[in-house]
Amino acid sequence: MNTHKKHGFWHRFFFSLDHKDIGFQYMLTIFLMVSIGGFFAYVFRMHLAYPDMKVPLFGLVTNKDYNMLITNHGLIMMMWLALGMLLAVAGNFLIPIMIGTDDMAFPKLNKISYWFFLISVILMIASFFMKRGGFGGGWTMYPPLSVGDFGYNTPYKSFADRFFTANTFVLLAITFEFISLLMGGINFFVTTLNKRAKGMTLTRMPMTVWMINIASVLFMFSVGPLIAGAFMLLLDINVGTGFYDAYRGGDPLLWEHLFWFFGHPEVYVILLPPLGFLADIISNNSRKPLYGYRFILNLTLIAAILSMMVWAHHQFVSGIDPRAATIFSIFTIIISLPFAGIILAYIATIWKGNLRLSLPMKWALGSVTLFTLIGGFTGLYLGAAVFDIYAHNTSFVVAHFHYTLFPTVIFGSYAAFYYWFNKFTGKELNKFWGNVHFWLTFIFFNGFAFPLFLLGLAGQQRRIADYRQFEFLMQDPLPLYRKIATISAVILILSQFIFIINFFWSMKKGKKVSSENPWQSNTLEWQTSSPPPHGNFETYPVVYHGPYEYNHPDREKDFLPQNEK
Amino acid sequence: MNTSIKSWRNIPQARLAVWTLIAGEFVVFGGLIVMYILNRLKYESWGEMAQHTNVIAGTINTLVLLTSSYFVVKAHEAAIHKNKEKVKMWIWFTIICALLFLGIKSYEYTHEIMHGFTLPGKHLLAEGKHVETMYWSFYYTMTGLHGLHVIGGALALFFVMRHATKTGKDYHRLEAAGLYWHMVDIIWIFLFPLIYLIH
């Protein structure tokens, strides 16, 4: 199958139907988006710590700029980085090769998904350059803020006047992205159900494949109402309907419900794929079978169902009925149980294993530690309405969700990068710089996010451009905390360049991998050459075991590939 | 080495994908319908507005769509026997039904817009009927979104039919496109009583 000829740049980056090429296209597009999102974070963090300073590379930050920066930072990181990296990139790279097949079930549909994704990115970037400036209504886009400068009662001038606004473009961008991910999800689902290698039963699939699929299906079932809702908000902005206009009997709360009915399951959509990577990486690096494969799987399914019933915990201060708040509090606290179970299973996997502290394992351990001990744990506090009413809209919440999202999305993605890089490029990442990158990220992430807890408990609200207007927030040591957070955030962002340089340098000039299976892993992707050829396998593998047969007592080798008898 | 085998399991891929797509579509329309029902329960005056819809045209449209579903089934039956001429005929009947549906729908829209019941409902707003404008917003959003699906479904049927009859293969795709068409039909069965019939 290696007869496939090498294609040029245009073919590889624009027209290729190969799942690895499409995954790579997604990855580059997302790198672009993350750079923008990270740059925005740098600008507004600098502004918060040093309000009068002209931020290098940006200039003086006005209040309007500030709104635009935080809004787009949130949107880009949640919608394009998290969803894109963990569903589109991971799904494209890993699903076909891990289940032992040549490509997606529908390669053309896969290509179209990427084109839609690209359109969404272009629309999003275009939204920064609209006449009235970028979108500044908060990443949750609550109406009436998201209806724009017009509000509901401004006379309607012309269609173009309303259409060429950041609000319209952001909504269109998100709609396009959702359509892209929906098509991608259908592709993943059909590929997984239909194209598994011979002998690859559902319970012999690696956890990663399971988790990406559950996440895709969960995404599909939660995003529908928001697509309808976004359509309605577009009509509100552009045509002048009043779906979210209280004066006309519409309800701004309706958007909050629609948004969070998607938004909360989305948190799990982006949590599950990293949990899948972690299962594979931890089991591989502990040289032990994954503890409780079916146990984890069942808990995940329970969590996926429960995640559809917790959305209103984002709205405890939006005027919902206190009786409903109690119910949502209870569900929110219940949903931590399945995840606690999954994390315990991971710890049981590590327990008494022959640990290899390789780079992916470091990221995996960092992810589990931070996510469980701080992110998940503060979630219990915030899930209870009694506490949330005080902490809502403070930096405490910001710290909490950075502690949940950063360890899962960023640490999880890095664990996957460092683990699978060898496979897809045939080169090795530089270990020394990998270690530097890990420790800088780990330390300065904490340095950035932890002070926000303290600031939040001291009463610092989110989404305020200049804290000098509040005397109690300028007392010592609060400004110092803000400076620590900012300096850490800047170093955190700078240290990501180490990875980017390491990534591209190693891809071009890195050391060639010494063997096809450097991690001595069981899963199918390691049983083919690195990088895998077009079509992935020379001969299609036949599967005889589950993916986690490490240290079998009857075997000499401590691993047993899935395709070996 | 076998590159020609697309799937080791014998589930037709297109059918599986379309069922997944249908599940996704039902969540989109389900969300809309739930929003509509909740508002409808809240505002009794929407019943008056519903009386301004053209029930006769709606009924005819329901019949047209149901008939088209029958044609799609016949087309599928012909596709199983790879009967090129019959497939062509039944799919064209279906597409004509879709066009008829869209024609009647646009007649209704024209009529309603002429009477001042527009999407943003400015006339009603001027009369001080704020809440009632929302009925028409929902009316146009729901039927409009459904109309887009009718267009999409008809286009899908057309292209699948043309590909199958020209190349003489991939007749199984007609089943997938047909499934989608039935979904379009069923959504209308939900919309019709909700919007037209309940006064």
Q: What is the nearest CA distance from A538 to chain B, expressed in angstroms?
A: 7
B110 near A CB under 8 A:
no
Q: How many domains does chain B have?
A: 1
Place of tokens 């009947």: B93
Cβ of B20 within 8 Å of Cβ of A186? The answer is yes
CATH class held by domain A19-527: mainly alpha
Please, which residues 27-46 of chain B have a Cβ atom closer than 8 Å to chain A? Answer: 27-32, 34-35, 39, 42-43
Would residue B20 count as lying in a domain? Answer: no
- Cα separation, A462 vs A484, whole angstroms: 17
Cβ of B134 within 8 Å of Cβ of A243? The answer is yes
Work out the end-to-end distance of chain A between its first and last CA atoms, rounded to an integer number of angstroms.
25
Cβ of A105 within 8 Å of Cβ of B7? The answer is yes
Query: Cβ neighbours of residue A400 under 8 Å, at least 6 residues apart?
Result: A375, A378, A379, A382, A453
Between CA A189 and CA A318, with CA A172 as vertex, the angle to 5 degrees is: 90
- Cα separation, A257 vs A244, whole angstroms: 12
A235 near B CB under 8 A:
yes
Q: Which of A187, A194, A242 sits opposite B9 (nearest CB)?
A: A194
Cβ of B9 within 8 Å of Cβ of A1? The answer is no
Residue B131 with chain A: CB contacts under 8 Å: 248-249
Would residue B183 count as lying in a domain? Answer: yes
- Cα separation, A411 vs A121, whole angstroms: 24
pTM to 2 decimals?
0.94
Cβ of A539 within 8 Å of Cβ of B1? The answer is yes
Residue B42 with chain A: CB contacts under 8 Å: 249
Cβ of A225 within 8 Å of Cβ of B30? The answer is yes
Q: What is the nearest CA distance from A113 to chain B, expressed in angstroms?
A: 14
Would residue B174 count as lying in a domain? Answer: yes
B128 near A CB under 8 A:
no
3-class DSSP state of A338: helix
Place of tokens 């939204």: A127
Choose among B194, B150, B186, B182: nearest CA to B35. Answer: B194
Cβ of A193 within 8 Å of Cβ of B9? The answer is yes
User: Residue B119: closest CA among chain A residues belongs to which residue?
Assistant: A241
Q: Which of B25, B31, B119 sits opposite A241 (nearest CB)?
A: B119
Residue A186 with chain B: CB contacts under 8 Å: 17, 20-21, 24
Q: Are A407 and A366 in contact (CB under 8 A)?
A: yes
3-class DSSP state of A63: helix
Burial A204-235 (b: 16+ CB within 10 A, else e): bbbbbbbbbbbbbbbbbbbbbbbbbbbbbbbb
- Cα separation, A102 vs A177, whole angstroms: 26
Amino acid at A185: G
Instruction: Write the pLDDT tens digit of every residue in B89-117.
Output: 999 999 999 999 999 999 999 999 998 89
pLDDT tens by residue, chain A, 565 residues: 344 556 677 777 777 889 999 999 999 999 999 999 999 999 999 999 999 899 999 999 999 999 999 999 999 999 999 999 999 999 999 999 999 998 899 999 999 999 999 999 999 999 999 888 889 888 999 988 888 666 666 666 677 888 888 999 999 999 999 999 999 999 999 999 988 998 899 999 999 999 999 999 999 999 999 999 999 999 988 888 889 988 888 888 999 999 999 999 999 999 999 999 999 999 999 999 999 999 999 999 999 999 999 999 999 998 888 899 999 999 999 999 999 999 999 999 999 999 999 999 999 999 999 999 999 999 999 999 989 999 999 999 999 999 999 999 999 999 999 999 999 999 999 999 999 999 999 999 999 999 999 999 999 999 899 999 999 999 989 999 999 999 999 999 999 999 999 999 999 998 998 888 999 999 999 999 888 988 888 888 999 999 999 988 888 888 999 998 8
Instruction: Write the pLDDT tens digit of every residue in A172-206.
Output: 999 999 999 999 999 999 999 988 998 899 999 99
Choose among A411, A418, A407, A415: nearest CA to A502. Answer: A418
Range of B110's domain? 56-197
Burial B1-12 (b: 16+ CB within 10 A, else e): eeeeeebbeeee
**Helix crossing, A359-369 with A322-350: angle to 10°?**
150
CB pairs under 8 A between A and B: 120
- Cα separation, A35 vs A43, whole angstroms: 12
Q: For position B186, which CATH number holds?
A: 1.20.120.80
B141 near A CB under 8 A:
yes
